[in-house]
């Protein structure tokens, strides 16, 4: 393998590792975003249940102290739900950035594969030309020495 082919292969290997790494990062960020969305959903259900509990069973009056405690619980759940939604949105934006980085890395990898393919094609063409030149030189040498023809006429 020529020096440039070796370097090109190393660059391609590094690009593949970078792409793989970015895809793993993307998956991790996406999992975090999903977990945050699920947490926000669970908190929304808890908040809704707590809001329904503000009114006593059967619409009965609830003592003021208990009503105040329930209201604090609703407010705390609402705050935590908003935090979870905000965190999920932030994680989704970051996952989007990671997706863009992974896509760019993949495009770079594909460009390197095309470059390597063209390089290998040029090497193969060079070898074919060198082989043809050697055959031509051998034929010319035989002709100069007055040797036999390479192909018998029939």
pLDDT of residue 152: 53
Q: Is the pLDDT of residue 154 over 50?
A: no
DSSP the chain: --HHHHHHHHHHHHHHHHHHHHHHHHHHHHHHHHHHHHHHHHHHHHHHHHHHHTSPGGG----HHHHHHHHHHHHHHHHHHHHHHHHHHHHHHHHHHHHHHHHHHHHHHHHHHHHHHHHHHHHHHHHHHHHHHHHHHHHHHHHHTT---SS---
pLDDT digits (tens, 9 = 90+) for 54-94: 776 666 777 888 888 888 999 999 999 999 999 999 999 99
Domain boundaries along the sequence of the chain? 3-112
Q: Which comes out higher in pLDDT, residue 124 or 149?
A: 124
pLDDT digits (tens, 9 = 90+) for 88-118: 999 999 999 999 999 999 999 999 999 999 9
pLDDT digits (tens, 9 = 90+) for 26-64: 999 999 999 999 999 999 999 998 888 777 666 677 788
């Amino acid at each position: 393998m020529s020096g440039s082919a070796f370097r090109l292969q190393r660059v391609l290997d590094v690009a593949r590792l970078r792409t793989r790494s970015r895809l793993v990062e993307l998956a991790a960020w996406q999992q975090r975003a999903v977990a945050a969305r699920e947490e926000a959903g669970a908190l929304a259900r808890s908040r809704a249940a707590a809001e329904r509990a503000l009114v006593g069973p059967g619409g009965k009056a609830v003592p003021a102290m208990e009503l105040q405690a329930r209201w604090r619980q609703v407010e705390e759940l609402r705050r935590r739900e908003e935090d979870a939604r905000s965190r999920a949105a932030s994680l989704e934006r970051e996952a989007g950035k990671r997706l863009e980085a992974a896509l760019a890395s993949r495009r770079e990898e594909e460009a390197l594969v095309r470059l390597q393919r063209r390089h290998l094609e040029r090497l193969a063409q060079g070898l074919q030309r060198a082989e043809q030149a050697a055959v031509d030189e051998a034929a010319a040498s035989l002709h100069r020495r007055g040797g036999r023809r390479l192909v018998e006429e029939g």
